[in-house]
Structure 1
Amino acid sequence: MDKIMGLELKMPDLGNLNESGHKLECRVALVSSDSKLANEWISALNSTAAVHDNPFGLQFEAVAPADVERLAQSEDHLQAVIVDGGSDGQGLEAADDLADRIHALRSQLNIFLVAHSGFAGATSLPGKSGSKSLANLRRRFDELFDRREGNFNHMFRLVQAFIARRASTPFADTLKEYVFSARDAWHTPGHSGGDGLRNSPWVGDFYRFMGEHIFNTDLSVSVQVLDSLLEPHSVIQEAQDLAAQAFGARHTFFLTNGTSTANKVVIQQILGGGGKIIVDQACHKSVHHAIVMNRCEPVYLKSVLHPEFGIYGPVKRSDIEAALDEHGDARLLVITSCTYDGLRYDLKPIIDYAHERGVKVLVDEAWFAHGFFHPELRPTALECGADYVTQSTHKMLSAFSQASMIHVQDPEFDEFRFRENLNMHASTSPQYAMIASLDVARKQMAMEGYGRLKQCLKMVEILRKAVNETGVFRALTRDDLIAEPLASDNIRLDPSKVTIDISQSGYSGNEMQIKLFDQYGIQVEKTTYNTITVLVTLGSTESKLLRLIHALKQLAGNTHKRIHVGSPRRLPEFTRFTCLPADAYFADTEELPLMDNGIEAAKQLTGRTSADEIVPYPPGIPVLVPGQEISTQIVQFLQQLLQGQNTTEIHGLIFRSDEPMLRVVSEIPVNKAEKGSSSAKKKAGK
């Protein structure tokens, strides 16, 4: 017996097992105030399902209009809704509103409309003026049924066809079929489906470790039946179209070399050859790289540091708006939402503000690919009007590492030029298993994303409660993580990123990470000096959750007094640009020592122009970018990191005989220095 909102419903054993032996079950709700029609149709449709091929286990049930939203929230197996618009058309407006509410809860559900016979020839909706509302209504529903419908075989097949379309994986299926056809390979790659390794006495163990299919799915672009990622026309294009529909985009493009490349492609699309870009200083390094590669003029926005936890959050909305007002010639705004720590902007007013000033918006949603599939996580960047959204499908969903997507809804989108920009960065030898994983990850979210995320959110609640019950550790809330300057910005938190305050344990974040790994076999996502962060994803299980809670309880009973109390390192103030980042990066340079008796190094470096991006990790925010003037404060900050007790990676330094060096511009030619506009020389966030 299954329970829905306290009501027990007896479900037949449909016996629909897929290839992996799991039973498939799809509920379809008919929403109508006409009990006579509802009973007749449900009886006829279930009778039809019983005698026809029913691989998805379609089961039809009648639901009152007042109950459908509760059903959508409680029933994970719900896959489609048929909404009755009434016998005289008076219910069409209510059906339209109901479809909106259902989509707000479950964006993936197929929704069908039952209309009266005169609907097809109507020009407007009762209760609404003009034909535009009617056109929108027709687009909102997947298909229409006439109330006089008597061919329930056709109706059943149509509903099944829409669900089958959503459940299809055109590329993954074609790849599997090709592999199982066992063709002889006389093409790249050289291992030839693994034959080059399988019988080798030296590397055969690697073949056995990795498994057969990791090799026989590693194919060449010579296999035309698998389409071309660079110029897709068949199964890859079909898979991308399904992804666009699933994530709510106009166009979607697959990438097999990560969101780093996705960001570079989009920035090149808007600013190839130069132009002004407004960007969070704490953005991903790929954005900084794209600024150099495309000769952009950056206007950096200052992230807000949470002083207690050493976590850098979003930029103040007022700073973003001020930058948009001051830099009227900017062409692109880049925002990261959510951040590594799960903090999300209130995006719509920011995007609207940028669009009013003619500025395109790219939102880096690398950590938020799952957001569209549960109402507690919406709205997403696409729903808020972003022109371009980049997502790391591999970070929170079930795709392979490096598998990412670009979603587009720019009304001025030039697809031909975009493909050329993408091809400049993409490999001509893509990994087909990655493409297949994107196809499969999309299918999973389209068919069971809501239910899986609901499970994740329940695990988050259990974990947070258990952490707080230790009396030593504390699961930080949204209010804990938002620094005071952001208090009025309506910042939200992705609950799947659980940040735990470990201050009272006596351990540093790095020490706690090591203890969890060495003693309990647990690897966390990130640390600061007094926090650790774990991710609750589709792959989180009850057993993993039990082991994590057990480990934290054990460690809570074994605290110690910390000898050295850490504190967050506040990044030094951004200085100014003396030239464009590209000019500095490609200029004639020299290497100067960073340490060199400390004071002497500061004298030599102060006032010089950095040629490289220097990034301490954590937090992963550059303290220097190419073209930026080096200050004494920056030099001393880097020296303190290198001399500190806790290990800090500093990306961008050069080591000569173990001596850290900074690459600086030898001199700046006058004509190049003039290219850096006065606005580019202002401090970030001003």
Structure 2
Amino acid sequence: MTYKAPIFDLESHRLDLWKTLYQTSETEDIQQINNELETIFKIEYYWAYPGYETLFQLREYIKNEDRSAFRLLCGNLLNSLINKTYRAREFIPFQTNLNNLDKPQSNLLASNYSDKEKNKTLKPYFEVLIIHPAPHEYELLYRNSLANYITFHDQSLYDILFVDNYYDAIIAILSNPTIQACIYIDNFKIKSDRACVFEEEFSPFLQGIENSTDQQSILLKKHISHLRPDLDNYYICEDYATELQLETFDRIIYTQSPNFFADIHHHILSGIEQRFSTPFFDALRSYAKRPKGAFHALPISQGQSIQSSYWIRDVADFYGEGIFSAETSSTLGGMDSIMDPKGSISQAQNKASDLFQSKSSYFVTNGTTTANKIVMQANLHPDDIVLVSSDCHKSIPYSVLLSGAKPIFLETYPLNQYDLYGCVTLNRIKQVLLDLKKQKQLHRVKQITLTNSTFDGIIYDVKRYMMDILAIKPDIIFHWDEAWFSFGYFNPLFRGKTAMSAANALSSMLKSDEYRHIYEQWEQKSDIDDDDFLLNNDLYPDPKQFKIRVYATHSVHKTLTAFRQASMLHTHDCEFSEDDFYEAYRTHTSTSPNYQIIASLDFARRQMSLEGYELVKNSLLLAWQLRQKIQNSEHLNRYFKVLGDRQMIPSEYLDTTETDKQHTMHYPDLYRTFRKQVFSVDPTRITLDISATGIDGPNFRQMLMTQYDIQVNKTSKNTILIIINIGVDKHSIQYLIESLCHIASKLKNNSKAVEQNTNIINLPLTRNYHKKFVAVQSHKNNNFQAVEIRNAYYAGLKSENIEYVPLSTELIQQVMNDKQLVCAGFITPYPPGFPIIVPGQLITYDIFIYLKNIQIKEIHGYHAKKGLKIFTADFLQD
């Protein structure tokens, strides 16, 4: 028997099956109830809760035709799964899941103590997967033995589930996000003796499994860590562990130990406690509880200046006491200095580094704007060339300006129909590098900065890009601005396309004899001196030359649970200079950092290390459901179209066998497609084409906000962007759908015909600069130019060098007739939110037409009364 889930993944299908079973229990069709119960039995194999005791009891009730008892137990169980009440529970000795579920729920009765007090006794619940060759013989022994060590004093509670084979272990950790640890006992099977009904469904995750039983636990552990690196992994050993086993697993547990089961229990809880620990957040809470006399800065510390006030007491009511108790400028008493961390901040940063798999990680309290400045100053010198994507955040060109380096802006592929920018193609980057190489200028190229994912959710194949670029420039520094992609590290769908994951993969490759052999074979049959070959083929960097130098900057607050401006900077640099880095870090970091922001980075790390996989998978599910609803509703898709890979990625970069069915793709299908394509659209970022409504993007956003209290971040003329982050829940999705339905109904009932926005805006792409500011240019066809952006910027600050010209039809006509205008500042329209003109750049006809047609109200750098700031002709002639 094979199985194909009719919905997104096995976990959501499980919940639907329980709902169906409960509804079916009202009927007289015993056979249907039994069939559905048997299907549930197959799925519940991958969960410890509610357990087979509960399932067998349901079967017994049906056998005895006790409908009321069946409905009570099934209803209670369904309620606990929907509301996830079992995920936080009290410690009650000897109580089983069945004991708790097989009776009227006590929450319907009056409570003798408040919910707040009750919550203090609730403990997080998780599950432990044990891969064992003989689960039927040993499960009861393990279950009873481990139960002896669970006490009221444990911070969390757990249950265990067994599988006896490799395939089911992979399916379990992907389907069941409550699994937090795996225990391996050798001699398990590769496949189950029973029919593995989900093997076909999960086949994209099961590729490359070896049938060999040699080192099977090590192979399985590596496979599991590739998919879910958040899990703790323990190996049960009968004899001395090998060096490889010691390196591979978090702990080795010996069967000969007299405290064997106690060791298992304590290691399981210790692993959870390590991830739960938040060094700085814990230190801050401890500090806030202690009474202090504050004879230093911050009158607001302890809330003293508020408590004594007659006029701002409402501030304390709004914020509560905790935030003021935690306000301090002290770096002592358990606190730490972000400028020179040696205590709790250092420990918190190390935990973040472990989570994101970097060589080192740093907290940044001024947002990713500052993180980008730190990277640029640490790595770039005034004569260096840096390649920068033209769609990068405005902090990037400003940072390059401060460093004095010469940027070459790389144009992205345009999506003119939707007024959106795509990604920089790999071919374009290689063109520029090979051109510079011919001019003997390649040595000046120090760094490349790309945005991944883009604001609109287009994701690069980071490893492929890095390999090809390193094959041409083996010592280049990669700076990936992952401002919107922190969450990508917590799901196998995205992780392989993150900066630190790719850096680790390349680092392993560099040390591999296998890769050296692959490279030698490729080199022998490849013409690596031919530019056409290098441009049009996948490349392999020389393991004797290439270096892993990678930086990633994260706006943690954008996609994880952290306060505004909370960011991180991750490094994986084999030539990392701590002195240079800290000089830059201290230049741009405030000496008065906000401790609440630092603490939020710490607890964001805790949350993602314990439930990141679950949260991101849930976001994927909700996004999938929203896409399905819009796609399948004639009422909605008349006015709203969901853009996918086919609309947002050029056809030459698509796997066309998959993209046609993208809206119906399941979780494993998405994984397979993501691995194949150079570009992929993040499923959690839903770009809606609203051109059929006749309302432009900015006005549609205003309508959503004022009439429906719905906030969306970004619009273009014909689109709005909906981001399904980890804070969005099913009720939010339902309200959004209801609101879109209401808008569609109003449009349908409007007697006035809706006029579609069909006017296509050609996006400005190529950037050219006045010869006064050109540092380096292509040796043919003006294919690219490196701009002296620093010189142009500071020249534009001198009043004698500039003038202002109003944006008018007459001016556009003059530019059409070859009048040359050179911008003296940055021009940043919102949207798209990045500079389309930088100092020293020629303002061309296509730029004027773009600014005129997008009809936006917010353009930074453009003075409504004065006009555009340009250089005077006299200055340019000097």
Question: 2:184 aligned with 1:83, yes or no?
Answer: yes
Find the aligned partners of 1:544 and 1:25 in 2 and give their Cα distance. 26
Question: 2:638 aligned with 1:480, yes or no?
Answer: no
Corresponding position of 2:493: 376
Q: Secondary structure at the match of 1:254?
A: strand
The partner residue of 1:175 within 273, 284, 296 is 284
Letter in 1 for 2:706: D
| TM-superposition CA deviations, 1:595-638 (whole Å, max 9, x none) | 27543587599435433111222112323212323345545554
Corresponding position of 1:389: 552
Post-superposition offset of 1:490: 2.2
Report which stretch shifted further, 332-341 or 565-574.
Answer: 565-574
The partner residue of 1:568 within 744, 755, 761 is 761
Question: 2:734 aligned with 1:546, yes or no?
Answer: yes
Question: Hey, which of these two has a bigger chunk of strand by percent?
Answer: 1
Corresponding position of 2:581: 418
Aligned pairs for 1:43-58 (under 5 A) are 43=143, 45-51=145-151, 53-58=153-158
Find the aligned partners of 1:212 and 1:478 in 2 and give their Cα distance. 49
Post-superposition offset of 1:19: 6.0
Find the aligned partners of 2:826 and 2:500 in 1 and give their Cα distance. 31
Q: Secondary structure at the match of 1:355?
A: helix
Find the aligned partners of 1:555 and 1:53 in 2 and give their Cα distance. 54
Post-superposition offset of 1:175: 0.6
**Unaligned ranges ≥5, structure 1:** 121-133, 674-686
Does the aligned pair in 2 maintain the 1:252–1:408 contact within 8 Å?
yes
Corresponding position of 1:220: 329
The partner residue of 1:430 within 574, 593, 597 is 593
Find the aligned partners of 2:688 and 2:579 in 1 and give their Cα distance. 47
Corresponding position of 1:313: 422
Q: Secondary structure at the match of 1:500?
A: strand
Post-superposition offset of 1:148: 2.4
Corresponding position of 2:743: 555
Q: Secondary structure at the match of 1:548?
A: helix
Report which stretch shifted further, 600-609 or 285-294.
Answer: 600-609
Post-superposition offset of 1:206: 3.0
Aligned pairs for 1:349-364 (under 5 A) are 349-356=464-471, 357=473, 358-364=475-481
The partner residue of 1:148 within 256, 278, 297 is 256
C-alpha spacing 1:487/1:454, structure 2 compared with 1 (3 Å)? closer
Find the aligned partners of 1:529 and 1:20 in 2 and give their Cα distance. 50
Post-superposition offset of 1:669: 9.2
Find the aligned partners of 1:21 and 1:548 in 2 and give their Cα distance. 36
Letter in 2 for 1:6: E
C-alpha spacing 1:629/1:201, structure 2 compared with 1 (3 Å)? same
Corresponding position of 1:516: 704
Find the aligned partners of 1:455 and 1:338 in 2 and give their Cα distance. 19
Corresponding position of 2:198: none
Aligned pairs for 1:499-538 (under 5 A) are 499-538=687-726
Post-superposition offset of 1:508: 1.4
Q: Secondary structure at the match of 1:58?
A: strand
Corresponding position of 1:471: 637
Does the aligned pair in 2 maintain the 1:594–1:602 contact within 8 Å?
no
| TM-superposition CA deviations, 1:371-415 (whole Å, max 9, x none) | 111122221221112711111100011011100001111111122
Corresponding position of 2:615: 452
C-alpha spacing 1:653/1:591, structure 2 compared with 1 (3 Å)? farther
Aligned pairs for 1:589-608 (under 5 A) are 589=799, 590-595=801-806, 598-599=809-810, 606-608=819-821
Find the aligned partners of 1:584 and 1:548 in 2 and give their Cα distance. 47
Post-superposition offset of 1:9: 4.6
Find the aligned partners of 2:757 and 2:643 in 1 and give their Cα distance. 23
C-alpha spacing 1:272/1:45, structure 2 compared with 1 (3 Å)? farther
Question: 2:241 aligned with 1:119, yes or no?
Answer: yes
Find the aligned partners of 1:175 and 1:83 in 2 and give their Cα distance. 38
The partner residue of 1:109 within 210, 222, 231 is 231
TM (norm. structure 1) is 0.88
Find the aligned partners of 1:36 and 1:22 in 2 and give their Cα distance. 32
Does the aligned pair in 1 maintain the 2:718–2:757 contact within 8 Å?
no
Does the aligned pair in 2 maintain the 1:193–1:215 contact within 8 Å?
yes
| TM-superposition CA deviations, 1:247-272 (whole Å, max 9, x none) | 11111100000111111111111104
Q: Secondary structure at the match of 2:401?
A: helix
Q: Secondary structure at the match of 1:187?
A: coil
Aligned pairs for 1:593-632 (under 5 A) are 593-595=804-806, 598-599=809-810, 606-632=819-845
| TM-superposition CA deviations, 1:252-295 (whole Å, max 9, x none) | 10000011111111111110444110110111111100110001
Corresponding position of 2:449: 334
Does the aligned pair in 2 maintain the 1:31–1:83 contact within 8 Å?
yes
Post-superposition offset of 1:484: 4.2
Find the aligned partners of 1:298 and 1:565 in 2 and give their Cα distance. 35
Q: How many residues align?
A: 649
C-alpha spacing 1:236/1:665, structure 2 compared with 1 (3 Å)? farther
Question: 2:867 aligned with 1:660, yes or no?
Answer: yes
Find the aligned partners of 1:259 and 1:478 in 2 and give their Cα distance. 28
Find the aligned partners of 1:637 and 1:9 in 2 and give their Cα distance. 58
Does the aligned pair in 1 maintain the 2:130–2:183 contact within 8 Å?
yes
Corresponding position of 1:139: 247
Report which stretch shifted further, 198-207 or 237-246.
Answer: 198-207
Does the aligned pair in 2 maintain the 1:49–1:59 contact within 8 Å?
no
Corresponding position of 1:124: none
C-alpha spacing 1:562/1:65, structure 2 compared with 1 (3 Å)? same
Post-superposition offset of 1:38: 4.5
Q: Secondary structure at the match of 1:225?
A: coil
| TM-superposition CA deviations, 1:290-337 (whole Å, max 9, x none) | 110001111111111112211101011111222232332211011111
C-alpha spacing 1:53/1:336, structure 2 compared with 1 (3 Å)? same
Corresponding position of 2:36: none
| TM-superposition CA deviations, 1:493-552 (whole Å, max 9, x none) | 211111111122222112221221121111112111111111111211222112111000
Does the aligned pair in 1 maintain the 2:686–2:723 contact within 8 Å?
yes
Letter in 2 for 1:570: L
Post-superposition offset of 1:338: 0.4
Aligned pairs for 1:5-16 (under 5 A) are 5-7=43-45, 9=48, 11=50, 15-16=90-91
C-alpha spacing 1:112/1:515, structure 2 compared with 1 (3 Å)? same
Report which stretch shifted further, 39-48 or 279-288.
Answer: 39-48
| TM-superposition CA deviations, 1:191-235 (whole Å, max 9, x none) | 233322344333332332233233332220454521111111111
Does the aligned pair in 1 maintain the 2:301–2:326 contact within 8 Å?
no
Find the aligned partners of 2:814 and 2:393 in 1 and give their Cα distance. 31
Does the aligned pair in 2 maintain the 1:374–1:454 contact within 8 Å?
yes
C-alpha spacing 1:444/1:606, structure 2 compared with 1 (3 Å)? farther
Question: 2:314 aligned with 1:239, yes or no?
Answer: no
Report which stretch shifted further, 214-223 or 241-250.
Answer: 214-223
Question: 2:374 aligned with 1:265, yes or no?
Answer: yes
C-alpha spacing 1:314/1:4, structure 2 compared with 1 (3 Å)? farther
Aligned pairs for 1:286-305 (under 5 A) are 286-305=395-414
Post-superposition offset of 1:106: 1.4
Does the aligned pair in 1 maintain the 2:692–2:757 contact within 8 Å?
no
Find the aligned partners of 2:689 and 2:43 in 1 and give their Cα distance. 37
| TM-superposition CA deviations, 1:534-577 (whole Å, max 9, x none) | 11112112221121110000111122513865433522631135
Q: Secondary structure at the match of 1:226?
A: coil
Letter in 1 for 2:604: A
Question: 2:285 aligned with 1:97, yes or no?
Answer: no
Question: 2:172 aligned with 1:71, yes or no?
Answer: yes
Letter in 2 for 1:478: D
The partner residue of 1:162 within 271, 281, 285 is 271
C-alpha spacing 1:662/1:517, structure 2 compared with 1 (3 Å)? same
Find the aligned partners of 2:426 and 2:239 in 1 and give their Cα distance. 51
Letter in 1 for 2:647: D
